[in-house]
Amino acid sequence: MIILGIDPGLRTTGFGVIEKQGNRLRYIASGTIKTGSEGALPPRLKVILTGVSEIVATYQPACAAIEKVFVNVNPQSTLLLGQARGAAITALVGADLDVAEYTPTQVKQAVVGTGKAVKAQVQDMVARLLKLPGLPGTDAADALGIAICHANSHDALALVGALAPANPKKPTLHMKRGRLV
């Protein structure tokens, strides 16, 4: 299963593509979509929308995961980040992908083992888990970490769904847009 991870940002949006085969994770690609720091907001959001759409078309992921917005000290920054995230999600759902959402703490816990890890620790563990020859950039590492988090969480959610009692009156649990329903 090919998984696309997205680390949204208005200036730089990171992406990471991995493949999960059984218990193995394989690196496929990673990088960034850069919008710059100047210019009007709508064209910058279009760069994110188009960039994510191109990544989806190129790598054909089965599902995607994106980082949840956290409340920043600066409310304006939080709003701008939310809009960048919305552009990325729009591209993903426009391609009919299920989209899971994870907090930064969940991602750090899944990749490093502690939710209080720093970016350098995430970079190092992503490189180790995916057997990369060097450290990925911080935005790409975060996106790969999000994909790794989803690869591990997806299995747990599938197991919960499989263990749910089969009752014809109640449907079994299944994934829908990244949520167990």
Task: Point out the residues that are catalytic.
Answer: 7, 67, 139
Q: Are strands 12-21 and 98-102 parallel, antiparallel or unpaired?
A: unpaired
**Neighbouring residues of 125: CB distance < 8 A, sequence distance ≥ 6:** 111, 112, 117, 145
DSSP string covering 116-177: T--HHHHHHHHHHHTT-SSPPPHHHHHHHHHHHHHHHHHHHHHHHHHHS--BTTBPPP-EET
CB atoms within 10 A of CB 58: 11
- Residue 73 DSSP class: S
> Are the C-beta atoms of residues 76 and 114 closer than 8 Å to each other?
no
| Cβ burial, residue 166 (10 Å; 0-12/13-18/19+) | exposed
CB atoms within 10 A of CB 168: 5
